[in-house]
Structure 1
Amino acid sequence: MVCKVRHIFYVLFALFSIASQAQSKDNIKDSIERAFVDVYEFKKKASINSALEQLTNILDLSDTIQDQKSKARAYMLRAELGIEENYNSFDPIEIESYLVRAKKIQEEINDSLGLGYNYVLRALTATRNTSYSNADNYFTKAEVIFDRYQSTDDINKLKYYRGLFYLSQGLNTRAIERFENSLPINDPYQPNYLRAKVHLNLAKAYKNTKKYEDAKLNAETALKIGNAYNFPMIKLQSTKIISDTYASLGDIENAYLYQGSHIKIKDSIFNIQNMQSTAQANASFDNEFQKRHIKELKRQNEDSNQKGKRNKLTSILSSALLIIISLLTISLYRNNQIKVKTNNLLLKKNSELQLAKDNAEKAMKAKAQFLSTVTHELRTPLYAVTGLTHLLLEENPSESQKEHLKSLKFSGDYLLTFINDILQVNKIEARKLAVEKAPLQLKKVLNDVVNSLTQTSKENNNRIILNIDKDIPEKLVGDYLKMSQVFINLISNALKFTKDGIVEISARIIEESDTQQYIQFEIKDNGIGISQEMQENIFDSFSQGSVQINRKYGGTGLGLTIVKSLLELLESDIQLESKLGEGSAFRFALTLDKLPPEVTDIVTATQEKTDLKSRKFKVLLVEDNKINQVITKKIIAKQNMTCDIADDGYQAIDFARSNRYDFILMDIHMPGISGVEATKEIRKFDVSTPIIALTAISLDDNKDDFLKDGFNEVISKPFDPEIFYQKISNILT
């Protein structure tokens, strides 16, 4: 009995010891974290000697609790101090030794994110050593890891480090783009310091490109942050850039003023005492690093000798484990009872979810039917608008009338596209919409959009400025309709929310290869702007900022939703910069394929108009809408064709039975019997006369179904007359 009591006492004592050790370990971890905070503070204050002393302290604390991750972080931070510009003794071999040791630990403990920053520091080391190929390879490895974590803060920091890579090579435009895209930059230890570094390096890049005002503005921003938080190195470098830019701008007085500040700050940082202290701290840390490495090797050797001793402790712990297992068994039994109740509840919830799913599917079917009906009803009157516009353009209008008619035609075409957009949003959600690449004239696309919005611009007394990079070729390959929809939505929005102002549209080449161009587009205005709060959901459906804005400016709130969806389909994303009361800027970039010269010739050759006047065709037009009858008849008459008109399907059958026609144009939705039924009746006694479905095609309509019902071709209203003539020509020949 006494032995059993003693055994239980030993077990309880062992458990108490484990709990005490765990508490002590947590306290040491807190001390390590505070020490890391101190290192970053010393780094920002250019106190490198104090930072190195704290790093030594971190390594000692990490050893006491075997915290390998903190040890790797310490080595990484030591390498980072060696790379920083304020650290004079740049030694790539020494930095590599720290990063190799950190990498070994990170691979052992599977610290992927830490390994990603290890590659970043290797890339920065190679950049400072002008080994740009190696630097690029390391950046690529880091990008793969950061993309996997999808952390905005890590990705933005990587953009900043990429900017340093480009700046070092003199690729200032790329550097500026990366620096700007890295903002807002965030870091748990040095957010303001990194933000100041971004503006400081932006200033360097702008200075290199001789954009001195932009350079001064960013350097002043960096100096403002440096003064606010007392960052000596930021103040040192920013005063130097400001002095240089003032000198370049011809302001000698301010140049000398900031040069004096620069010299004073430099003397306070790089005095003999500080430099000696830093050198001593550096030597001390390096000596500790070597001793620690030797000590670790010895410990690994001793570990193998301690295995025998640990077996005895294992026996004691096994007894404790048996007790814990017994307790867990009881706990598992209770959890099983709870699990049974939970499963019953889940079955009930699943039934409710299934019911909700069925209701959602019914709602989706109702939505599809609604879209089908609305689309058909809108296309029918729109056919009158586009058809009459085309006929007026063919009747030799004056130049002033021609300009208005072209705008009307473009707007009519856009309205048709907008109707299709409502369907496209539905298709995008269902992943049924595809990119349709074809040759296009980018300059013409932009000019067409601007011309169609001339009247809108005049209403608010706005001026439109169009800047297109002269190196953009005449023809490229892209999706004309989707690009037009994006441009017209963004530009019309800018004009609507701007009064007595300027809307600037620019297109410039960012990158180019033998087969592609990467083009950035920007639509910028100086209108009412968008609040920071609204920028978070401005791309949501039916979002216009507020009820007051909706009432004052109108609109559906779908434009930016469609823009975002279409750009995602085109493998791009849209960026917004805006300030309330100052205006907005929307930016996005598209990769467009170049058009080979031989293909350009083919495209030009196929743009000749179709001529059907050589033969006098006789046509039967089956159409219940009187306006559509007039328009279609005139379009047919332009090609010297004659036609009979049937108001419904019954008349169509009678005309077809008693007359001979070269082809029949058949509307689908008519009173009485539909065009499909009428076609089936005609095919019973006439199987040779071509019948063309001429209809406002809807969601449920399918071209293959029409062909099975006896039609030879389907033309959707409203249609382009030239496409209409081409399809007729193809059928008759």
Structure 2
Amino acid sequence: MIAILLNKRAGLKWPFLLCLILCIQTTIAQNDGNSASNVKEIFNDFMRYRHENNVDKALETLSQAANIAERNEDSKLLLDTYHQYARLFLEEGDYETAIFYWDRASILLKDTSYSFGQAFHLYLDASLRYSEGNNFQALKQLEESRKLSNNRNLTNNILLQEAYIYTNIEKYNDAIKNLHALIVNSDDKERAYLATRANLQLAKISVTLNDLEEGIVHSKAALELAEKHGFSKEIKNAYEQLSNIYEANGNYSESLLYAKGLSKMKDSIFNVEKAKLDANTADKVRFEHQMNELNKLQAKNEELSESKNRSEITAILTSAFLTIISLLAVSLFRNNQIKLKTNDLLYTKNKELELARDAAVSAMEAKTNFLSTVTHELRTPLYAVTGLTHLLLEENPSEHQKEHLKSLKFSGEYLLNFINDILQINKIDAEKLEPLNIEFKLHKVLDDVVESLQQNAHEKKTELILDYDPTIPKKLMGDPIKLSQIFMNLVGNALKFTKNGRVEVIAKMLKKEEDQVKIYFEVRDNGIGISEDQQKNIFESFEQGSIQINREYGGTGLGLTIVKSLLGLFGSTIHLESELDHGSSFYFEMDLDYESKEGDEIAFELNLDEFQFKGLHVLIVEDNKINQVITKKMLTKKEITCDIANNGNEAIDMAKNNTYDAILMDIHMPGISGEEATRQIRKFDTVIPIIALTAISLDDSLDSFYDAGCNDVVTKPFKPEVFYQKIGENIFRSKMEGSI
């Protein structure tokens, strides 16, 4: 084996190859009883000895398998043997030797295509990481291992290892689920052994959860299986668990009985086996393997010397070969010692880096969850601020009060935009934002953006123009909400830095195929421009070019970051051309699907002034008392009457027993959520418009609201005109569509 490895790894020249050929010829001439056909029986014997904690016998069987692998040059069998060596030493606590054999297997895997071997290698890596306390890394490796092989025995061992890890991280329900599956497993190799280990671990979890009776049941089940099959280590563990549980339960007589049995075992089987393993250390095992190779080659040399049919040159070459191999073996042993020390140092440093990486990931998750919680919780009081401000402004306040109220309204809307930006960034960072693919009218999306920002443009004395290519298909497929967010940020940014100037929103069709178009978008202004140095960082979070710009123009510096991230969802990239004092141009291209055959449209558009709100009766589903008052007053302003449900269950009952024109549904409520309440209402009423009126959090998804049966979504806090528009659209459009 040493010669084979040296030839593969060190690139030995022709003298070694010639000697190797002569050695192989003499080996083939011998009649050895072991062959590849015995491998299965050898591994079965190894499994039995391993379960019985008979380490010496287990090592002997692995040595037989290694010999067969070397004779047949079977790299897969040799890889399996190294894996079992590593597993055996790991189970006995000899991590250094386990890592030694795991490294040997790693070398073989580089040149061997063997999916089961790769899967088992990852399983062993997970076991090593678990022994070092890296639980989450171990879980990741186990998941990768499961993907590579569906071997039943390996799958069951993965389940057991996961159960140990889940116990460590206090995910007891997941651990119990795995362990119960193992108790009734149908493994053809380790059925009883896996069931025994599962019962022992269930007993341990039961004690942790203070369920001592359950702990006794599982410990006794484990003891019965272990004694039946001779699992000495598991017998000891079962005795020890039962003794401790009975002592904790106050049953000292039973505790003493099992303690005596434990003491008897320690004085006999377990200590003898442990002493044998301690004597057979990792370095000794490796050195013995090397010496075995030398002894085999020396024996072959003696046979060659006694044979009269061999030529003198063969004997000389063989002797030279043996001498060289002997020197190389000694050198290899010394190099291994140096390498092991170096590996230990590298391994320690790698683990430190992995721990640092895990800490950084945990910190990032904590930051994301914190920001998500804060932004979500801020929306409820903000709803009260913006809602009450709107109501007060409509109650004819005095001029000096109106000035204060407008300032309060501006501050509330500014804070709301900032919170929305942070929530958007968090969703993108957490990969919880998915683009929609629905039918929409691009011209309407862009026209709405321009119209909504015209007031801002007038204040800046800036001309805001939409240059739209009429050849673009009317109906496209995509995400109009995110596209609107992109242009709101780009146009809003352009207006912020342009006074007495011009801002253009451009949409041009570049290419049209059977069912897809490529469209060029650009937002161009003649404002203050951006210097070359500032352009390098302009798309980074909270970056506005300079402190002076931030102080003069305000803002959070998140708009362009959101644009870049949203375009990334569509596979597009934002580009910038700018010259200081001469304006800026932000442009990108996007591929959008479209319907090549457009059907006849029944066009009807409703404006806010056309809605007849008087006489409408709606149901408000809201658990917050302040929000109830504000929403009710806003509806009363439009002469809309309403009922109020404090939770989802009340909403279901009231919707079933009364007639409403619409339902305003809060999503986050105690008891059943707004989504679940909507699903229940849709079982008996599929027509009534249901509008989700909620503060969207990091984990919320608009898709899930629509899937539950909502017709539309209004995020709190909202602008009153948006609130009324959504109510009018959903109530009157459904009536008009029905009549048409």
TM-score in terms of structure 2 length: 0.41
TM-score in terms of structure 1 length: 0.41
